[in-house]
């Protein structure tokens, strides 16, 4: 089954923490939900890539509408 694709608005304390929690618990989430979660896009005015190691697999931009408009 296809994973649920997720876009995030913001990569600060809450958004960055969300990325970390979703990535760290990906297997458990997939097991319980029957589908995985794939974070595909994120919008942030500023972010520290070093504090979010998983960010390399996510398309990051500074336009929230680009995330919202992406299917």
Q: What is the pLDDT of residues 10-64, one digit of tens each?
A: 988 899 899 989 999 999 999 999 999 999 999 998 877 767 766 777 888 899 9
Residue 67 lies in a domain: no
pTM exceeding the 0.85 threshold for the entire prediction: no
Residue 6 lies in a domain: no
Question: SS3 of 1, please?
Answer: coil
DSSP per residue, 3-62: PEEEEEE--SHHHHHHHHHHHHTHHHHHHHHSS-EEEEEEE-SS--GGG-GGGGGSEEES
Residue 41 lies in a domain: yes
Residue 11 lies in a domain: no
Domain count along the chain: 1
Residue 3 lies in a domain: no
Quote the domain boundaries for residue 49: 19-62
Residue 27 lies in a domain: yes
Distance between CA atoms of 17 and 23, rounded to whole angstroms? 10
Residue 5 lies in a domain: no
Residue 7 lies in a domain: no
């Amino acid at each position: 089954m296809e994973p649920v694709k997720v876009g995030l608005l913001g990569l600060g304390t809450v958004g960055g923490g969300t990325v970390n929690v979703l990535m760290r618990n990906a297997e458990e989430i997939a097991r319980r939900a029957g589908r995985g979660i794939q974070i595909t896009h994120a919008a942030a005015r500023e972010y520290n890539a070093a504090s979010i190691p998983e960010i390399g697999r996510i398309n990051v931009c500074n336009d929230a509408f680009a995330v919202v408009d992406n299917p």
